[in-house]
Amino acid sequence: MKINVRLLVLLAALIILMPMADAYAAEDGFTSTYTYNYDYWGDIRESPDAYRVSDVIYSSTLGLEKAMRSPKSLFVRDQDLYIVDTGNNRILQLTKIGTHFEMVREIDHVTIGADQMEAFKAQSDLLKNEDGSDYTDENGSFYLKPPLGSSADRGPMVLTADGVTYFNNPNDVSVDPDGRIYVADRDNNRVIVMDKDLNYLQMLTKPTDSTFDQNQSFLPNKLVVDTSGRIFVLASNINKGLAKFEADGSFTGFIGANTVTYNLWDYIWKSYFMTKEQRSQQAAFVPTEYQNIYIDKEGFIYATNISFSEYDLLWDNAKPIRRLNAVGSDILIKNDRYPPIGDLQWVEGSSDHGASKLYDITVLDNDMYVVIDQTRGRVFGYDPQGIMLWAFGTSGVPAEGAFTRAVSIEHIDKDLIVLDELNSTVTVFTPTEYGNLIYQASEQYLLGDYDGSAQTWEKVLQLNANYNLAFIGIGRSKMRTEQYKEAMDLFKMAHDRTNYGRAFRYYRKVWVEQNIWWVVVIIAALVVFFFVRKTIRKMKWEVAAYEHSKVHK
C-alpha cells in the first residue's frame, strides 16, 4: 500500500510538472521556450532556442492606477510601444529605455479646436431637440447618437463643451513618421486622426459610396497607414477587403478582397441537387474577412486569415498569410515544400490541437516575417522565401513565454513583442546567439556577401546539425560563386529539389562550355569512325558480291 501511495504521488507530480517542460529558466537567467522546426518529411525536429524571454510588462510594473483590461493590439514606432487597452478605452504609450519599457502617457481622448467644432459636428450624428437645435446639457456638452447596432444601455456619446471626445472600445492604433496618431475608435464608428499633442486633425466615418452597404455599421477593427498618408481599414462585417481612404479622408473603394472558400461537395450539392427555394435558405458562398493587417517598410500589406477549411491548408488554397500589392493581389513568395501555415501536424476539427490560427503578423526590416498562432500560443518565423526559420512557444501554462490568448505581435529591431489579451501582459523576446546567426546569414546573403553568409551558416550548423535552411543557405552561396557541384551536394542533403535542379542546369552548362572542344572532337571522331566503317563494310559487300557472281558464272 505504501508503494502504491508513493507511485500515485510521483505520478501526480509528473502530471503537474509536464506542462512546465515547454518553458523553464535557463542558466543565463532568461526564460527558455521549446523551439523546433520541420524536416523534409514534415516531422518535428527540436532545435536550440532562437528567442528567449527578456522582459514581461505587467500593469503593476507600469504603475497604472487601472490595470489593463482586454488589450487588443500593439503598435511600434521607432522605440515607442503603443498598447491598445480596449477594455479601459485608452491607449498606453511606452518608450524603450535600455532593455526595459517605461510609461510615457495615457491617450484616451482627442481635443477639437473651436475653429474645427462645426466641421466635426457636421461629420458626426448629433442628437437634436424638438426644435431641431443641438442637444446639450447644463454643462454645454453635446450628445451624439449611439452608432447603429450598438448596445442600447450604453447611451449617447459625449462631446464636452471644451471640445473633448473620448474613445469607445478602441481596437487599433497607428502612428506615422510625422507623429500623427490614427485610432480605430470602433464603437464610435470612426477613425480619429490627431497630432502628437492629441489635437483633432481628421475623422473617417462610414463611406456614403454605393459600394459600402449602408445598412451596415462602420466598425473599424484594424488599420495601417502608408508613407503617402493613405489609410487602409479592416472593418467588421465587411468582406470586400480593406477600405481605402486617401490622405484627405476621401473613400476610394476596397482592395485585396479575400477569396471565396467553400467545400467542393457543398458546392456540388447546392448547385445541382437543391431547389431554388432551398438554395435561398442556405448561406451564400461569400469571401471571408481578414483577421489582422500589417504594412512593411516597402508599403506592402500583410494580412492574416483564420477562416478556412483545414483540408485546404497543405494545398495552398487557404492562404492564411497574404502579401498584398497596390492593386490587392497576393504576391507572397512560397518556395518551401509546404506553404507558410504554422504547424504542419494537427488533429483535424480540434479546437486545442487543430490547425494553426495565424492571428497577427509583423515584418522585420530584413523582410523576415513572424506570426502568432492562437491555437497553441506558438510564434512562427519565416524568411522572405516562405521557409520556416523556427517555431517556439506554448499556451495554457502559468509561466513566462506561455500565452492564454495571444492577439498581437510587434517588433523593435529583432526583439519580438507579444500581447496576451486574457493575461493583460506584454512579453518581450530577445534573439539568442542561434537566432542572431540565422538573421545574420540571411542578411549577408541579401547584401551580396556570399562567402560571409556561407561561413555564418556553418556556425549555425555547429549549433544545429539538422537545420536544412543552413544547407540551403550555404548551397545558395556556392551557386553565387559558381561552385555548382558543391551546391548540388548541399541541396541534396536538404532534399531541395528545386534548387538542386537549378544548380544542375548551371553545372551542366559550365561543363559543356569547358569541354565543348572535346565533345566536338569525340563527335567528329565517331562520325568519321561510323563513316569509314560503313564504307569498309560496303566495299567488303561489293567484293563479296563480285566474287559470288564469278563463281556462279
| Whether residues 417 and 464 fall in one domain | no
**Residue 154 CB neighbour total at 10 angstroms:** 12
At 51, give phi and psi (nearest 5°).
Answer: -140, 155
Q: Is residue 44 part of a domain?
A: no
Please give the Cα distance from 396 to 375 (Å, whole number).
10
Average pLDDT, the chain: 84
Residues 295 and 240 in one domain: yes
pLDDT, tens digit, 9 for 90 and up, residues 294-333: 999 999 999 999 888 888 888 888 899 999 998 889 999 9
Task: Give pLDDT tens digits for 353-408.
Answer: 889 999 999 999 989 999 999 998 999 999 999 999 999 988 876 678 889 999 99
- pLDDT surpassing 60 at residue 54: yes
Is 143 part of a structural domain of the chain? Answer: no
CB neighbour list of residue 510: distance below 8 Å, 6 or more residues apart: 482, 484
Both 391 and 464 in one domain: the answer is no
Residue 5 lies in a domain: no
pLDDT digits over 517-537, tens only?
A: 877 888 888 888 888 888 888
pLDDT digits (tens, 9 = 90+) for 405-435: 999 999 999 999 999 999 999 999 999 999 9
| Inside any domain, residue 3 | no
* Residues 194 and 317 occupy one common structural domain: yes
Q: Are 256 and 203 within one domain?
A: yes
Q: Is residue 271 part of a domain?
A: no
Residue 421 shares a structural domain with residue 377: yes
Of 440, 302, 441, the C-alpha closest to 372 is: 302
**Residue 49: per-residue pLDDT:** 94
Asked if 425 and 496 sit in the same domain, the reply is no
Average pLDDT over residues 146-164: 65
Classify burial at 262, counting beta carbons within 10 Å of its beta carbon; exposed 0-12, middle 13-18, buried 19 or more: middle
pTM higher than 0.85 for the full model? no
What pLDDT is stored for residue 271 in this prediction?
60
Instruction: Tell me the CATH number at 396.
Output: 2.120.10.30
Q: CATH number, domain at 532? A: 1.25.40.10
- In a domain? residue 378: yes
Tell me if 328 sits within 8 A of 257, measured CB to CB: yes
Q: Locate cell 506615422: which residue?
A: 176
> What residues make up the domain containing 459?
454-552
510 and 397 in a single domain? The answer is no
Here the contacts of 497-501 (C-beta below 8 Å, separation 24 or greater) are: 498/335, 499/472, 499/475
Q: What is the pLDDT of residue 181?
A: 97
- Better-scored residue on pLDDT, 122 or 251: 251
Give how many domains the chain has, as a whole number.
Answer: 2
All three cell numbers of 47, joined, read 532545435
Q: CA–CA separation, 6 vs 531, rounded Å?
A: 93
Number of Cβ within a 10 Å radius of residue 2: 6
506 and 421 within one domain: no
Given a contact cutoff of 8 angstroms between Cβ atoms, the answer to whether 292 and 374 are in contact is no
Residue 444 has pLDDT above 80, yes or no: yes
Judge contact between 386 and 332, C-beta under 8 A: yes
